[in-house]
Amino acid sequence: MKQIQRLALLLLGTLLFASSLQAGARKTVYPVVFAHGLSGFDNLLGYFYFGDDSGVFVGDPCDEFLEVSCNGSIHSGQKALAASVQPFQSSEVRGTQLADRIQNYITTTGATKVNIIGHSQGGLDARKAAAVLRARYGRQVVHALISVSSPHRGSPVAKYILDLNPGVVSVINALATIFGNTIYGSGNDGYAAAKQLVYNDYSSTDGVTTGMKAFNTNYNVNSSNAAYYGSLITAQEGINVNPALYLVKQAFYNIDGDGYCIDDCDNDGAAGKGDGNKTNNDDDGLVGINSQQMGDRLQYNENLFSLDSISVNSSLGYVSNLNAPSSAQMTSKASVISQDHLDVVGIPPDTFDENEFYAAILDFIVSKGG
């Protein structure tokens, strides 16, 4: 009898152990839309954008026993969409396209709201899309809006390329070198995309107002458009940076991205200024840390054999006005993820587990009611 009891306990223990090893992120209340950055959603330097190293979409749950081409770290019932917009365009264009795609998704699924995770420019597009959807539906449609490595206050690389500084013979060639040949596809406007990513209006004589400062004024952090805003920040030093970005960093540019001032006081294309030290861990190869915080600064905690997690770094406070963060929000290296701009999406080789990372974000969204 005792033997049977022991066996039963052992089996129970094994089951509990197995299930705890396989425990993944909780299912979000609303579906999650993944918004890509510059370049095509299914092709970034030849890789799938929101895919792991073997091309599996990080939002694809494993809904079958033994299914392996999926993300085993998310809930089997998770709903997600990798939305596709014009690879190289301003966020005014891409944000409206993203809103159209989300409206289509809502129509198909019957969902009442969505959460958005935007990488790089995708985080800017998401803010515009949230405003468009608010206007169309007459109510808040986006619950949580999370940006990853987004240049909310501009990128010096964009201005450097537009200025055709040493090492850059053409804006289009430079963008192609960093993001791949998708830029040569029809409908792309590399100039509009680059102008979008400069903080100030790039040209006072072209008859239009571009840049992140104006964009932030129009589509700021706004609780009418989304219930929750949070951001994950990336930075990495020299040799570890992806070869494509390393070229930008070493061959013709190196961002000094962790100094504070109001607006773009050193006219480098991004708000804030440098602290005089270019080589430290203050940018991810494209964006400085002083450009990336929107809403809460989020911290990514890696756990090898259990689900990774995301928490809020509350000591830095909330960026509610994207054009006026505090000095600490622009300069602190706290909770910065040590990865480059392209590591957090599907470009190997890297030491980053995309499946786990996005699973942790989904679980965090659940904790915020999304």
Partner 1 sequence: MFQSKKRIYIILVLAACIFLGLYYSLRNKDKTEERFRELSKKQRIYEKRDLGDLPENYDQFSFSEFSDEQIAKILQEKYGKNIDNPRVQFALLEELMKELPKLYPDRWVEKLNEILQLAFPEKAMELFRLSEKMYSYNVFREKNMIRLGMMSEADRRKEVWKERYRLFGEKADEIWAIEKKMQNVSDALQRIQESPPGNIDAKLSSFKSTLKENFGKELPQVLAKRQQTLTEGFVQSVQKDLKIMSFAERKSTLRDIREAMGMDQAALNRWDALEDEREQKWKNLETYRNLRSKLLGGKTTLSPEKEKELEGLRTKLFGEEAEIIRNEEASGYYRTLEERTFGIN
163-171, 172-180, 233-241, 255-263 -> range binding partner 1 (CB under 8 A): 172-180
Alpha helices by DSSP H, listed for 89-170, are 91-109, 121-137, 156-162
Residues 139-158 that bind partner 1 (CB under 8 A): none
Binders in 311-370 for partner 1, by CB under 8 A: 347-349, 351-353
Query: Site for partner 1 (CB under 8 A): which residue of 6, 8, 15, 46?
Result: 46
* Three-state secondary-structure class, residue 299: strand
Q: Does 112 bind partner 1 (CB under 8 A)?
A: no
CB atoms within 10 A of CB 157: 32
Query: Is position 20 an interface residue for partner 1 (rule: CB under 8 A)?
Result: yes
Piece in contact with partner 1 (CB under 8 A), picked from 107-115, 158-166, 290-298, 325-333: 107-115
Pairing of strands 296-301, 309-312: antiparallel
Using rule CB under 8 A, residue 165 touches partner 1: no
Tell whether residue 76 is a contact of partner 1 (CB under 8 A).
Answer: no
Query: Is residue 259 within 8 Å of residue 311, measured between CB atoms?
Result: no
Which member of 6, 9, 10, 69 binds partner 1 (CB under 8 A)? 69
239 binds partner 1 (CB under 8 A): no
Query: DSSP of 35-85, one letter per residue?
Result: E--SSBTTBBTTB-TTB-TTS-BTT-B--STT--SSBTTS-TT--EEEE--
Which residue lies nearer to partner 1 by CB, 138 or 276? 138
Q: What phi and psi, each to the nearest 5 degrees, are found at residue 283? A: -155, 165
Crossing angle of helices 91-109 and 121-137, rounded to 10°: 60
> Is the bond preceding 349 in cis, omega lying within 30 degrees of 0?
yes
With CB under 8 A as the contact rule, the residue among 121, 177, 254, 299 that binds partner 1 is 177
Quick one: which segment of 209-217, 260-268, 270-278, 291-299 binds partner 1 (CB under 8 A)? 209-217
Residue 43: CB minimum distance to partner 1, A:
7
Element (H, E) at 301: strand 296-301
Q: How many residues bind partner 1 (CB under 8 A)?
A: 74
Task: Enumerate residues 84-103 that contact partner 1 by CB under 8 A.
Answer: 84, 90, 92-93, 96-97, 100-101, 103
**Amino acid of residue 163:** D
3-class DSSP assignment, residue 232: strand
Nearer to partner 1 by Cβ, of 207 and 276: the residue is 207
Question: Measured from the CB of residue 192, what is the shortest distance to partner 1 in angstroms?
Answer: 7
Q: Tokens in use for 111?
A: 């969902």
Residue 79 structure tokens: 């709903």
Q: Is 68 in the site for partner 1 (CB under 8 A)?
A: yes
Note whether 304 binds partner 1 by CB under 8 A.
yes
Coil, strand or helix at 296: strand
First to last CA, the chain: 48
223 binding partner 1? (CB under 8 A): no
Within positions 244 to 303, which residues make up the interface with partner 1, using CB under 8 A? Answer: 244, 247, 303
* Using rule CB under 8 A, residue 66 touches partner 1: yes
Residue 109 near partner 1 by CB under 8 A? yes
Residue 28 C-beta: closest distance to partner 1, Å? 15
The binder of partner 1 chosen from 210, 291, 293, 335 (CB under 8 A): 210
Decide if residue 55 touches partner 1 (CB under 8 A). Answer: yes
Rule CB under 8 A: is residue 22 a binding residue for partner 1? yes
DSSP 331-368: H--TT-BS--TTTTTT--SSS--HHHHHHHHHHHHHHT
Alpha-carbon gap, residue 294 to 325, rounded angstroms:
9
